[in-house]
Amino acid sequence: MFLVIVCGALLITGVVLAILWNGERLTVPHLPGADAPTRRHRAGLRYYVWWVSVFLVAATASSILVTGAGGRLVMRLLAVTSPQARGRLTEAGELVGFITLEGTLGYLLFGAIPFAFASALLYLLVEPWLPPGRLRGPGFGVLLLVTVSPFIDPLRSDNIDFDIVGPGWLAVLLFAGLAVLQGAFLAAVAGRLSRSLPLMSRRNWPATTVPLLPAVVLWPLGVLLALAGLVALAFPRLLPALLAARASRMGVLIGRILLAVALLAALPAFIASLVSIWAR
What pLDDT digit, counting tens, does each position of 231-255 carry? 998 998 888 899 999 999 999 999 9
- What pTM was estimated for this model as a whole? 0.91
Q: Which residues, including other chains, have CB under 8 Å from residue 154's CB and lie 6 or more apart?
A: 71, 175, 178, 179
Q: Which residues, including other chains, have CB under 8 Å from residue 32's CB and lie 6 or more apart?
A: 43
Say whether 93 sits in a helix, a strand or coil. coil
Question: Is the pLDDT assigned to residue 86 strictly greater than 80?
Answer: no
Contact 239, 51 (CB under 8 A): yes
**Residue pLDDT, tens place only, 153-203:** 888 888 888 888 878 899 999 999 999 999 999 999 999 999 889 888 888
Say whether 95 sits in a helix, a strand or coil. strand
d(CA 93, CA 95): 7
Show me where the domains of the chain are located.
2-17+41-278
Mean pLDDT of 46-73: 94
Burial class (CB in 10 A: 0-12, 13-18, 19+), 62: buried
Residue type, 80: V
**Residue pLDDT, tens place only, 110-124:** 888 999 999 999 999
Contact 76, 99 (CB under 8 A): yes
Residue 95 has what pLDDT? 65
| Mean pLDDT for the chain overall | 88
pLDDT band at 40 (very low <50, low <70, confident <90, very high): confident
